[in-house]
Amino acid sequence: MRIEDVRRRTTTPLTRPAFAPVVPWFIDREYLNIVYRTDPDALRAVVPEPLRIEEPLVRFEIMKMNDVTGYGPYTEGGQAIQVSFDDEQGEYLHAMYLDNFPATAAGREVSAYPKVIGAPKLYVDQDVLVGTLDYGTLRVATASMGYKYYPLDLCEAEAQITVPTFMLKAIPGYDGAPRVLELVRTDITDVVVKAAYSGPARLQLFQHVLAPLADLPVLEIVSASHILTDLTLAPVKPVFDYLKGDAR
């Protein structure tokens, strides 16, 4: 393989890339969102500066990707923490677990999504929307919401899922020292909200050493939503370089 051919590749293995070189389009992406109040000290222990915590709020989410170009259907779950950066309100993606390796690899290599393999599920159980997350054979989260209790304004639903997203991009060098260490920002674009609902909800988090969602304990449920939408993800942009100590 010639040098110029190698330069055109974006991922390894060279002859069988870990993921397709496409910008994914999400069709019928289904959200279960539960926003809850947690311990402020627990948040301060995991949210990196220069992000700031205005209120101790976390959004637990289970997302069922029914049709994604390049990756196929999969399900994802995790936690997003409400933060601010330079007076802009957004979310810091704290943890993401999904059941699709190409989407996991692409999210971490191309962008900075904190993705690892897990086993989330989203389904309807009689009159309840249920979201679960397992790590290995152990349950680490169970969420439930009344199924389509109250209509939610579509503009409000879009506002919930399109806030700016911040993530930490960390790539070590061959000597183990950081080679890339950046705070990055992205957002959701081309949004078409097809349906949205709110309703009563509950969330249980269970202790696990390698899936520590319960380290951000549930003190109070603030809101819940069930949203169906089409969308794409914008490319990430660095906003702070930890190795230089300045904004990008």
Return the active site residues: 115
User: Which alpha helices (DSSP H) does 133-212 contain, by range?
Assistant: 154-161
Q: How many CB atoms lie within 10 A of CB 164?
A: 17
- Compute CA 41 distance to the chain's CA centroid, rounded to the nearest angstrom: 22
Transcribe 134-156 into DSSP letters.
EETTEEEEEEEEETT-EE--HHH
Q: How many CB atoms lie within 10 A of CB 108?
A: 18
- The residues, ordered by sequence, that sit 6+ positions from 173 with a Cβ below 8 Å of its Cβ are 179
Q: What angle do CA 78, 66, 127 make, to 5 degrees?
A: 75
- The residues, ordered by sequence, that sit 6+ positions from 41 with a Cβ below 8 Å of its Cβ are none
Q: Is 214 helix (H, G, I), strand (E, B) or coil?
A: helix
